[in-house]
Structure 1
Amino acid sequence: MRDEEEIREQYEFLVEELESEEMSHEGIREMFTYYRRALGWALEEEHM
């Protein structure tokens, strides 16, 4: 299992990618949104 710091780094990277102008294709944006949610849920479960 990845440590929390690595997961947080990936989460922040995805947030930046979603906000960038290059992420204009809706299918890619949707995929990253789902992945970002999954990472968020993983982080929440670690702290419950």
Structure 2
Amino acid sequence: MRDEDEIREQYEFLEEQLESEEMTHAGVKEMFTYYKRALGWVLEEEHI
């Protein structure tokens, strides 16, 4: 299980990356992968 701090850290990382001026198609695709993983952690927590 992930704790709240880990999820918050992942969210802040995503936020920084999305604000970057250098977002490319590959970068955006990678960010969605991270986003889906973080969202999965949240949903996993809610089901337990």
User: Taking structure 2 as the reference length, what is the TM-score of the superposition?
Assistant: 0.66
- 1:16 Cα shift? 3.0
8 Å contact kept, 1:15–1:36: no
| Structure with the largest fraction of helix | 2
Q: Give the partner amino acid of 1:35.
A: Y
Question: 2:27 matched to which residue of 1?
Answer: 28
Higher relative contact order (CA 8 A, sep 6+): 2
Question: Equivalent residue of 1:22, what SS?
Answer: coil
Q: Which residues of structure 2 form unaligned runs of 5+?
A: none
Q: Percent identity?
A: 49
Q: Deviations over 1:7-43 (max 9, x none)?
A: 22212221331233222x1011101111111111111
| Stretches (4+) displaced over 3 A | none
Structure 1 unpaired stretches of 5+: none
TM value normalised by structure 1:
0.66
Aligned residues: 47
